[in-house]
A and B are shown apart, each in its own frame.
Chain A
Amino acid sequence: MHRRIAIKNLALIIGGAALLPSCVHENGKASIKLTNLSISADQEKLIGDMAETIIPKNSTPGAKDLQLHLFVLKMVDDCTTKKDQQAFMTGMGQFNDYVRKRYSNSFSDCTVKQREQILLDIEKDKDPKSSTYPAELKTFYGAVKGQTVNGYTTSKYFMTKQVVYELVPGRYNAFYPVKQKQTA
């Protein structure tokens, strides 16, 4: 019964999109049904921890509360090319290796500060010519970051509580003073 309520609440949080965990949860497998990617529970946890590092829970819901890591997986699975999906998987392995080499730990066992540092360092490395990271690792990080933030800023939570999305504006003011502007 609790599980049902949990799923129902989850559905409300993410707005009824098709991100419900599959009912049969095999040990070691990802909790979401994917078509192209083969993701283990550990890999799902990694992406969850990365997403939570990007969008952490503070006074407002974080990535895990909003199931953003499942959204990341869904988008990579459905909306990217086979080539990018392969790079995503390869890059995930490279990312794990890189973290272990740097901190002798898995990403999930790193402190929050360490996690943030890892992600920020990759993000600051913008010039592909002088990059110290393999291209696939950057593709992997770019997908996790991009889809986490995409998922967050288009979530029901964000679009109703942080900015207010209006389905039916019912107005167009062509001259509107910036001073009066409150919502996006």
Chain B
Amino acid sequence: MANLNTDSIKDRTFDAIVIGSGMSGGWAAKELTGKGLKTLMLERGRDVKHIKDYPTTNMYPWEFEHRGEMPMAVQEANPIVNRCYAFHEDAAHFFVKDKEHPYIQDKPFDWIRGYQVGGKSLLWARQTQRWSDFDFEGPARDGFAVDWPIRYQDIAPWYSYVEKFAGISGNKDGLAELPDGEFLPAFPLNSVEQYFSKHVKSKYGRHVISARCAHLSKPNQIHLDQGRAQCQERTLCQRGCPFGGYFSANASTIPWALKSGNLTLRPHSVVESIIYDDKKGKATGVRVVDANTKETIEYYAKIIFVNAAAMNTNLVLLNSTSHRFPNGLGNDSGVLGKYVAFHNYSAHISAQYDGMLEWTTDGRNPAGGGYIPRFRNLHKQETDFLRGYASGFSAYRWKQQNWDGVGSDFKDNLAKGELSPWHVGSHMMGETIPKEASYVKLDDKLKDEWGVPLLKISMDYDDNDAKMKKDYIEQLTEMFTSAGFTNIKAESDNRAPGLDIHEMGGARMGNDPKTSVLNKWNQMHAVNNVFVTDGACMTSTSCQNPSLTYMAFTARSADYAVSEMKKGNI
């Protein structure tokens, strides 16, 4: 047990504690330390230092024992994480293996996790789009969840703030549904992507834009100051980037926070709960179990940022019980752990295009191609389902190898190969509706090896998702057909929720403390020194990739928290 003498308590007392070191935790640490707060960042996994701890980053394909393929024994032992598109030999070390951290699937849920410093910010797909008022006004307009307590104008300056630092490439497309940001030059659409863009704009008034992504297409001084360099178009991002070409907590916010001298980073720290003092009416600190020694240690601070990633943030809050909060910290409303949701990625379409054969591409596109912002139910309700979907769109050619045959000519032809015709692909990214019946809970009996209750997860597709998927397939098929694409194949898969890695909600924001956990500053209604700025705060999901919004929420919330501290309100 920890030595409870005064010096020891002093050593364990900070101005702020940040739980989690990933996408949003990194931002919390950067902002709080930048404002002079002595900050402790807790990470349950190991440390991953930028560049130094990217063991595969400079490996050639032939240097991987199985050329990237995961051994069957690993695949069979890890059916959940093995379904993730990035779980291969080059990045498997950044993923939680199934047996290491069990959870309970009340309904099928593929929970993909990265327990290390930097979290999933090392592994993300780096797509970054702003929300607009079409998104923030969604629940109020369409009558689900609760009204968001903010609107676009509240968050817009903070989008700008985080974009400038993170480095976001994109075009100023002038779309109300996808507001422009502080962009570095976009990665351009290729010939067929551009052709499709022009076609659907003239025929449908819909948009195919260069995907906006967190890559340094042309770094500014602020990025060089972080020790990052221009993206080199390797598209090996999941290994960790030695150039810092894409935004990760490891390359950007955490080293920045460390440079301030105000950050203490403590890996191997499993947060068991947040300590609430009934007399003070405040959270006073965090109870940690050392992942290796299993020793319980308490850390204290004036403010606490919870950034453990959506599901684990819910777990920590639900497990933080006290006389005042018998059902979880800040849970007067009873909604904590409820209204969780995700993104529907369960359909994709491929096709072929026989034109534009004089063009190909050279090098690789880190943005991945094009992005089709939501066009359904945008200005008014126009379908038999609520909300809508964004879509990816990309076109590509490759050198075809003929694998039929044996012998000398066969061998020599493998190197020659002819360019394939253009192939195109799209996948859906659908908004799902948060429902009271969708929940995460703590198991009554089962605990992990650190004494923390196992999380039970239950969310599922509903009728709205099925109708939306049908519409995506119909609309994209029609757009593909009218563009002259052939061999169109729409595929629907039966993936479980979770594989989108966009799980959200459970500690939602709202105006009314009776129906929400957090106020418009991501501050707990009932505990004013606890802030939740990761995916758990999301009132609705919209269909944008969510990370940029978490970053903006975090920076905004940290700014508010510190100003409230200075005013003596916290």
Interface residues of A (CB under 8 A from B): 14-18, 53-56, 58, 60, 62, 74-75, 78-81, 116, 119-120, 123, 145-146, 149-156, 158-159, 162-163, 165-181, 184
Contact = CB atoms under 8 A, between A and B. Distances in A.
B69 A79 contact: yes
Contacts of A179: 358
B1 interface: no
B61 interface: yes
Given A149-B414, A151-B67, A178-B419, 11 more contacts: A56-B407, A78-B66, A79-B70, A80-B72, A120-B406, A153-B414, A162-B415, A163-B399, A167-B58, A168-B232, A172-B188
B51 to A, nearest CB: 14
A120 B406 CA distance: 7
Nearest to A166: B363
A149 B190 CA distance: 31
Given A79-B72, A159-B60, A172 B365 contact: yes
B64 to A, nearest CB: 7
Contacts of B66: 74-75, 78-79
B62 A14 contact: yes
Contact of A176 (B187, B362, B410): B362
Contact of A119 (B65, B234, B406): B406
B171 interface: no
Interface residues of B, number: 52
B484 interface: no
Contact of B362 (A56, A78, A173): A173
Contacts of B69: 75, 79
The 3 closest A-B pairs by CB, nearest first: A162-B415, A176-B362, A171-B363
A114 B245 CA distance: 54
A174 B61 contact: no
A179 B358 CA distance: 8
A11 to B, nearest CB: 11
A178 B360 CA distance: 6
B65 A177 contact: no
Given A167-B234, A170-B233, A156 B361 contact: no
Contact of A158 (B72, B73, B415): B415
A167 B235 CA distance: 9
A180 to B, nearest CB: 8
Interface in B389-430: 398-399, 401, 403-408, 410-412, 414-415, 417, 419
Contact of A156 (B60, B358, B363): B60
Interface string B329-360: 00000000000000000000000000001111
A60 B190 CA distance: 36
Is chain A's interface secondary structure helix, strand, loop, or mixed overall? Answer: mixed
B493 interface: no
A56 B67 contact: no
A172 B407 contact: no
Q: Which of A149, A171, A172, A173 has the most CB of B within 10 A?
A: A172
Nearest to B69: A79
A178 B411 contact: no
A176 B188 CA distance: 12
Interface in B129-149: none
A181 B187 CA distance: 20
Interface of B: 58, 60-67, 69-73, 76, 187-191, 193-194, 232-234, 236, 357-366, 398-399, 401, 403-408, 410-412, 414-415, 417, 419
A159 B361 contact: no
A178 B358 contact: yes
B408 A58 contact: yes
A154 B59 CA distance: 13
A172 B360 contact: no
Q: Which of B61, B191, B360, B411 has the most CB of A within 10 A?
A: B411
Contacts of B364: 169, 172
Contact of B63 (A15, A153, A166): A15
Contacts of A163: 399, 415
Given A56-B411, A78-B71, A169-B232, A181 B60 contact: no
B419 A181 contact: yes
A58 B191 CA distance: 40
Nearest to B64: A17
Nearest to A113: B407
Q: Which of B72, B188, B366, B415 has the most CB of A within 10 A?
A: B72
A13 B61 CA distance: 14
A132 B398 CA distance: 35
Contacts of A14: 62
A155 B404 CA distance: 19
Contacts of B414: 149, 152-153, 158, 162
A139 to B, nearest CB: 15
12 contacts: A14-B62, A58-B412, A79-B66, A79-B70, A152-B411, A155-B62, A159-B61, A166-B363, A172-B361, A174-B191, A174-B193, A178-B419
B522 to A, nearest CB: 37
B406 A174 contact: no
A145 B187 CA distance: 39
Given A123-B404, A167-B234, A17 B412 contact: no
Q: Which of B60, B70, B358, B412 has the most CB of A within 10 A?
A: B60
A178 B418 CA distance: 11
